[in-house]
């Protein structure tokens, strides 16, 4: 793959790290936003209130740069609050034109919280922006620069019409409160996040360079595997629409691009889990596709792959990176505790006979370092 594309991917890696720093158990959401932005497919986040959904989206958007629009929808939200008010000066002349300055139609990245509370008029207009990147209202008809829209809700809707709207978001991710075992990390990370500003690490040109590489990815090597995966899902009563199946290729190709490759492999099939629309369905998909997803791994998107497949090979990149950070840092009591915890995790995932080359030397260095500490 061309050097500019690799440089763009490296830039996004820095953006992800800064955005997710201090947000416990939310790295996968930040990384999934990057995948969606590169594929230019939208993301629906489902989770209870207070689980840092908006914080993650806001920080990633700040790190990526570009024009950002955010809004919390309610039962009485008017279309003008999202799309802009009618230009009264033009209205006197008989023209119904909308002033979209600073509103959703001009955004590069958008976040719509409690999206299912929007009225029919709002959701119908949103469909045009999400699907076609076009805003039409009266005499106003403009192309929208939207790369990614993230919508959030506390739960999936039961209403059939709203469920059809939710289906327009190709990526679905479900978040839960931070578990008890990581409460200390939550407190420390939350305190640090509140005192640290985010500076842009990338820009829309970076995203666009990566997006242009997506259609150039050779998907032929994984088409048979993808078709087999869909058959297995259907056999497990996990049904995906034809549209979602076809569009899943965009995500798989984007994963390959972000990994620095122009040919898709089995390692890139993991986004298929996030195309499944329910939490129970995603868990079932992990088990059903366990063999096909066994090779899933990614040099950039560590957390989201690990969350998707929950298998040892997906953890290699994160474990190697954690080892490098520890070995390159200061030695002391904190180092010893962290290094011992990392060694336990490595040994829990891999035995001596199947320890990957990426971890073998690092594990040996950690052992020596711990003994020296």
| Alpha-carbon distance values, 65 to 103, 153, 199, 206 (Å) | 16, 25, 8, 10
> What H or E segment, with its residue span, contains residue 60?
helix 53-64
pLDDT of residue 88: 67
Position 199 pLDDT exceeds 70 = yes
The predicted model gives 38-53 an average pLDDT of 92
pLDDT of residue 335: 84
Indicate if 53 and 187 belong to the same structural domain.
yes
pLDDT at 126: 95
Least confident of 124-138, 140-154, 214-228, 318-332: 318-332
**Does residue 203 lie within any of the structural domains?**
no
pLDDT over threshold 80, residue 194: no
3-state secondary structure of 159: coil
Hey, which of 31-40, 201-210, 361-370 has the most confident mean pLDDT? 31-40
Domain count, the chain: 3
| In the chain, % of residues over pLDDT 70 | 95
Give the per-residue pLDDT at 23. Answer: 77
Instruction: Give residue 79's pLDDT.
Output: 94
15-29, 177-191, 199-213, 306-320: the lowest-pLDDT one: 177-191
The band of 91, judged by pLDDT with boundaries at 50, 70 and 90, is low
Mean of pLDDT values over 204-232? 96
Strand 68-72 and strand 109-113: the pairing is: parallel
Closest to 222 measured CA to CA, from 273, 274, 263: 263
**91 and 27 together in one domain:** yes
Domain stop point among 276, 300, 324: 300
244, pLDDT greater than 80: yes
Answer yes or no: do 50 and 155 share one domain: yes
Which domain CATH number covers 83?
3.40.50.300
Q: Is the pLDDT confidence value at 181 over 90?
A: no
Do 135 and 129 meet the contact criterion of CB atoms below 8 Å apart? yes
> Do 363 and 227 fall within a single domain?
no
Clarify whether residues 250 and 178 are in a common domain. Answer: no
Least confident of 194-198, 257-261, 363-367: 194-198
Is residue 204 assigned to a domain? no
Domain extent for 271: 216-300
* Residue 305 included in any domain: no
Q: pLDDT grade, residue 334 (50/70/90)?
A: confident
pLDDT higher than 70, residue 193: no
Q: Do 21 and 168 reside in the same domain of the chain?
A: yes
Distances (CA, A) of 50 to 31, 53, 66, 89, 188: 20, 8, 26, 42, 17
- Is the domain of 258 the same as that of 171? no
Among 161, 193, 225, the domain-final residue is: 193
What's the Cα-to-Cα distance from 352 to each of 33, 341, 346, 356, rounded to whole Å?
Answer: 36, 17, 10, 9
Give the chain's length.
373
> Are residues 335 and 257 located together in one domain of the fold?
no
pLDDT band of residue 164 (cuts 50, 70, 90) is confident
- Across the chain, mean pLDDT equals 89
23 is a domain residue: yes
156 is a domain residue:
yes
Q: Which of 267, 300, 333 is the last residue of a domain?
A: 300
Residue 201 lies in a domain: no
Residue 122 has pLDDT above 90, yes or no: yes
pLDDT for the residue numbered 124: 93
Structure tokens at 290: 């366990």
pLDDT for position 35 = 96
How much is the average pLDDT of 308-315?
84
- pLDDT band, very low/low/confident/very high, at 92 (cuts 50, 70, 90): low
- Note whether 292 and 342 are same-domain residues: no
Q: What is the pLDDT of residues 61-77, one digit of tens each?
A: 999 989 999 999 999 99
């Amino acid at each position: 793959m061309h050097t500019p594309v690799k440089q763009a991917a490296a830039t996004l890696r820095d953006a992800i790290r800064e955005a997710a720093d201090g947000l416990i158990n939310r790295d996968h959401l930040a990384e999934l936003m990057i995948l969606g932005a590169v594929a230019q497919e939208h993301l629906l986040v489902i989770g209870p209130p207070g689980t840092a959904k908006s914080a993650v989206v806001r920080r990633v958007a700040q790190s990526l740069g570009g024009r950002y629009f955010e809004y919390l929808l309610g039962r009485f939200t008017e279309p003008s609050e999202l799309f802009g008010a009618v230009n009264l000066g033009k209205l006197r002349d008989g023209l119904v034109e909308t002033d979209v300055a600073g509103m959703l139609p001009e955004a590069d990245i958008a976040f719509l919280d409690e999206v299912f509370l929007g009225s029919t008029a709002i959701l119908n207009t949103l469909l045009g922006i999400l699907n076609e990147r076009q805003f039409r209202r009266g005499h106003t008809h403009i192309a929208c620069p939207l790369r990614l829209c993230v919508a959030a809700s506390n739960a999936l809707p039961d209403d059939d019409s709203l469920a059809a709207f939710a289906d327009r978001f190709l990526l679905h991710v479900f978040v839960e409160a931070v578990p008890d075992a990581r409460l200390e990390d939550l407190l420390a990370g939350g305190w640090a996040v509140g005192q640290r500003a985010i500076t842009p690490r990338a820009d829309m040109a970076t995203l666009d360079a990566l997006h242009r590489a997506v259609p150039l990815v050779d998907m032929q090597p994984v088409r048979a595997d993808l078709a087999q995966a869909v058959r297995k899902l259907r056999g497990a009563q996990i049904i995906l629409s034809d549209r979602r199946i076809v569009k899943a290729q965009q995500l798989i190709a984007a994963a390959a691009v972000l990994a620095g490759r122009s040919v898709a492999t089995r390692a890139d099939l993991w986004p298929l889990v996030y195309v499944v629309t329910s939490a129970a369905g995603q868990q079932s998909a992990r088990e059903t596709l366990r063999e096909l997803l066994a090779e899933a791994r990614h040099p950039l998107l560590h957390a989201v792959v690990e969350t998707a497949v929950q298998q040892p090979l997906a953890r290699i990149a994160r474990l190697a990176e954690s080892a490098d950070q520890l070995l390159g840092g200061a030695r002391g009591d904190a180092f010893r505790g962290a290094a011992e915890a990392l060694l336990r995790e490595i040994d829990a995932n891999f035995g001596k006979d199947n320890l990957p080359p990426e971890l073998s030397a690092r594990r040996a260095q950690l052992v020596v370092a711990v003994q020296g500490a």
